[in-house]
Amino acid sequence: MSRLLGRMVVGTMPLMPRFVIKWVSRRYVAGTKISEAVAVMKKLSDEGACFTVDVLGEEITNLDEAEFFIKEYNDLIEAIIAEDIDANISIKPTAFGLLIDREKGLQNIQELLVKAKESDIFVRLDMEDHRATDDTIEVCLAMHEKGLTNIGVVLQGRLFRTLEDIRNICNKLGPAADFRICKGIYLEPDNIAHTQYRPIIDATNECLDLMLQSSSYVGIATHDIPVIKHALASLEKQKMGPTLDDPRENPPVKRRGKGPGYEFQMLLGVRGDLRRKLHKDGHRTRIYIPYGERWYEYSMRRLRENPTVAWHVAKTFLMPWKNRR
């Protein structure tokens, strides 16, 4: 039902005026400028959250466009430090030119990573669709080999390959491995990915368990109760949790702003009540903060990729009183 409604909303959204889309996406996007993202983070810091910040925009069509992202992320790092915000950054490798010119893309990411390392800021490589999976993992491993260890990848529970990717990355990086696990936003074909709700949840939970059993740091990125419940049970089984030191034999490398071996992560504007409850129970909670001029393209692309998100957007539109971030 929600899928059908989602498709209907997606169908009509390109016809809606931009200001309507902007109004709807206001809850999920922290504005167009660094100063607006900073203001949102300062406000949400009072709720005990920390952050990862994403400059909106994805695959670029020519390498010059990468310059924009390098400069914007540099300015963002400076603002995070100047404003003393508990935040790291999330980047999309394709925005740095990885799929246009691999070498140049790597160079661009390395340049940013060096800058982030100087300020002790962690860089998360968001995971895009399956065309970028191998390259994204390789970027992470290549940077670690160069001694730039302030970087980790996102893996997607829905992909069949993910358990194998976790084993490979853990073998190579040991306690320096730092993951975000999510279901995966991209609707991938059924020869490489689970496509139904329950199998996606089961696969994501299995990946989460494997990460927790290894020496890696785990960012648990979901708003879905069955995954959160499973994560809480898994943490208990591992004797991990708030106020507990990570009991694993070879615990993950300590990094600025990280929790005791794990943290929960949620998107700006989604299930704030649940995030606040997790924080109240003592868990480290991180909010993903997207901002930037490309909010329109981002919102529309996300909606096309996964129409169920449109249903949530429609609910926001129809029930604005529920619009608390």
**b/e 273-310 (16+ beta carbons within 10 angstroms → b):** ebbeebbeeebbbbbbbbbbebbeebbeebbeebbebb
Span interacting with ligand FDA, options 114-122, 218-226, 230-238, 245-253, rule CB under 6 A: 218-226
Nearer to ligand FDA (CB atom), residue 55 or residue 182: 182
Rule CB under 6 A: choose which of 33, 115, 172, 223 binds ligand FDA.
223
Nearer to ligand FDA (CB atom), residue 109 or residue 154: 154
Nearer to ligand FDA (CB atom), residue 186 or residue 296: 186
**Residue 79 contacts ligand FDA per CB under 6 A:** no
Nearer to ligand FDA (CB atom), residue 116 or residue 314: 314
Site string for ligand FDA, 114-133 (x = CB under 6 A): ------------xx------
Q: How far apart are CA 101 and CA 94, in angstroms?
A: 10
**Residue 309 contacts ligand FDA per CB under 6 A:** yes
Size of the site for ligand FDA (CB under 6 A): 22
- Encoded tokens for 29: 């996007």
**Residue 34 contacts ligand FDA per CB under 6 A:** no
Rule CB under 6 A: choose which of 227, 231, 240, 289 binds ligand FDA.
227
**Residue 267 contacts ligand FDA per CB under 6 A:** yes
Asked if 178 contacts 252 with a C-beta cutoff of 8 angstroms, the reply is yes
Q: For the chain, what is the radius of gyration of the CA atoms?
A: 19
- Encoded tokens for 126: 């968001």
**Residue 182 contacts ligand FDA per CB under 6 A:** yes
Span interacting with ligand FDA, options 10-18, 61-69, 243-251, 265-273, rule CB under 6 A: 265-273
Q: Report in angstroms how near the CB of residue 239 gets to ligand FDA at its nearest.
A: 25
Asked if 239 contacts 306 with a C-beta cutoff of 8 angstroms, the reply is no
CA distances from residue 94 to 55, 61, 63, 195, 268 in whole angstroms, order as listed: 13, 10, 10, 24, 22
Q: How far apart are CA 307 and CA 143, in angstroms?
A: 35
DSSP-H helix ranges across 119-161: 133-145
Interface contacts to ligand FDA, rule CB under 6 A: 126-127, 154, 156, 182-186, 221-224, 227, 265-267, 270-271, 288, 309, 312
